[in-house]
Amino acid sequence: MAITKATASSIAPAAKGDLVVGSSTNDAAVLSVGTNDHVLTADSSTATGLKWAAAASGGGSITLITPTSTANSGGSVSTSGGAVTASSVNSVSLNGVFSSTYNNYFFTVQEIIASTNVDVYFRMRASGTDTTAADHNRAGTKVTYSAGASSVVNDNAGTFFMLGQYDATNKLSSYVHLYHPNLATDTNYYSLNPSRDASIIQGGFLNNNTQYDGITVYPSSGTLSCTIRVYGLAN
């Protein structure tokens, strides 16, 4: 039996996003709205021939990840469409952004504004707690804008990774590529960080086998405003 206007009108969607679809008995049926960021896909094993599912990973594809929760010290934090916006915080943390779904990730910290001239750092985070052990190792090159001179930046057995140096005037951004943060092996990173007086390219690793699921971004002093986005990279 074909779906008619009469049979379709007798089916009442119960929530925003529900769909009226044809069933295996050629009757109208309701397919409930799917999970955020899932897509509609064909599946002949279901009663309607359709289902909601996570988008299939493809070569070079990236996925914006919404944190399961956020935390902050001071100021305020809001989340919209996966973007976490912090305003005048002493620190901002994103939980539940790294999982076994992806091996590698990158995150951006955009439009960074500090209350004064400060360094900005990040730490890895597991089960709601930052790692503060002296097992952070990094090295890179800092090139100043004014003189074009370069110098080495390094920190062996530190307690944090550095993003860059920021101020209250210039809205700058940072990019960090993370390698296997949620695997039981060393977490490696590579970052590009335009700062207030120099550009810093650096990389490093955490000398432990912790499976991390989040990050914390914070200034060396004062407060910070920025927007953070985390992306999973197709394996």
Give the pLDDT confidence of 129-166 residue by residue, as tens digits. 999 999 999 999 999 988 888 999 888 889 999 998 99
Q: How confident is the model at residue 28 (pLDDT cuts 50, 70, 90)?
A: confident
* Residue 2: pLDDT over 60: no
Q: How confident is the model at residue 234 (pLDDT cuts 50, 70, 90)?
A: confident
Spans of all domains in the chain: 5-54, 62-233
Q: Please give the pLDDT value at position 187.
A: 96
**Rounded CA separation 228/64 (Å):** 11
Residue 6's H or E segment, with its range, is helix 5-9
Mean pLDDT, rounded, of the chain: 88
Percentage above 70 pLDDT, the chain: 90
Give the pLDDT confidence of 70-119 residue by residue, as tens digits. 999 999 999 999 999 999 999 999 999 999 999 999 999 999 999 999 99
Buried b (16+ CB within 10 A) or exposed e, 83-101: ebbbbebbbbbbbbbbeee
Residue 5's H or E segment, with its range, is helix 5-9
* Residue 22: pLDDT over 70: yes
**Rounded CA separation 28/7 (Å):** 6
Q: Backbone phi, then psi, for 9, in 5-degree steps? A: -70, -20
Greater pLDDT, 147 or 124: 124
Greater pLDDT, 55 or 91: 91
pTM (global) more than 0.85: no
